[in-house]
Structure 1
């Protein structure tokens, strides 16, 4: 596990940072909350509530900042990509992260906290970057019509089955 890093993504939440961090670490192996700093009497958050939560997802460091309801919002301009070994992993992360959120196209979703994720099977970039450009184009067209990625359907399109 990575325990120190010069670079650590910081995710802004109104006040759900600790809840979100606990949710994320419950889904990914080798994940944990590493610290929670709480607001004191000086504020600006409610005393005792989480201010900054540091955590690791599969060994990668993150911070969740409960900065309050200002104009800063998570957007699709920043997303986390989940490398999935097979369809079972795609299904697991798609269902778990998407519950209570919004599903989009091409393996993208926004979780219930507003964080965007790409649920990507390893097989997809292999097919899309294949030397068989016609097969790659068919795989791309198939993917563009999907919300959750269906590996078998993309492989069938690639192979023209």
Structure 2
């Protein structure tokens, strides 16, 4: 028997592929591993994502494009936490993920990290970026 655990991201409309392509572009060890799309006459918008999977530094994620409107979206209470020992990588991720998004905690020094930020990206996904202490 085999069990896997994955973070699952549900986007409304046709944003799943755009988001995962963006995320994969930010990490050296990242790839889209599968993608299934709705075809003509199926319940979702043609070409939108039925289900897709991607990896970021070995961590598996799944995503979909929901064709239904929901009374909820992403919340900062659940976030993707990135530890890095590269200040340049942290700065790059903060800049790129922050474009069109919202800063929840500004980039700076905190008691728990020499450099940290918490933000929601343009898709509403929450990220915490922390520089690993030397």
Deviations 1:68-90 (A, max 9, x none): 33223111121001112132222
Moved over 3 A (4+): none
TM-score, normalised relative to structure 2: 0.82
Q: CA deviation at 1:43?
A: 2.6
Instruction: Give the helix-richer structure, 1 or 2.
Output: 1
* Structure 1: unaligned runs, 5 residues or longer: 127-161
Which position in structure 1 is the counterpart of 2:108?
none
The alignment status of 1:33 with 2:29, answered yes or no, reads no
Deviation at 1:67, TM superposition (A): 1.1
Q: Relative to 1, partners in 2 of residues 1:43 and 1:71: Cα closer, same or farther, differing over 3 Å? A: farther
Q: Whole-Å Cα distance in 1 between the matches of residues 72 and 11 of structure 2?
A: 8
Q: 1:124-135 alignment to 2 at 5 Å?
A: none
Give the structure with the higher percent strand: 2
Moved more, 61-70 or 10-19: 61-70
1:50-83 residue CA offsets vs partner (Å, 9 max, x unmatched):
2212101111110111113322311112100111
2:7 matches 1:9: yes
Give CA deviations for 1:101-134 in whole Å, capped at 9, x if unaligned.
01121610000000000010111xx7xxxxxxxx
What CA RMSD, in Å, does the superposition of the two structures yield over aligned residues? 1.8
Higher relative contact order (CA 8 A, sep 6+): 2
Instruction: Find the counterpart in structure 2 of residue 137 from structure 1.
Output: none
Residues 52-91 of structure 1: matches in 2 within 5 Å? Answer: 52-68=51-67, 69-91=69-91
Count of aligned pairs between the two proteins: 121
Q: Distance between the aligned counterparts of 1:46 and 1:81, measured in 2?
A: 32
Unaligned 5+ segments in structure 2 are 106-115
- In structure 2, C-alpha distance between the alignment counterparts of 1:19 and 1:36, rounded to whole Å: 12
Secondary structure in structure 2 of the residue aligned to 1:43 = coil
Higher deviation after alignment, 9-18 or 44-53 = 44-53
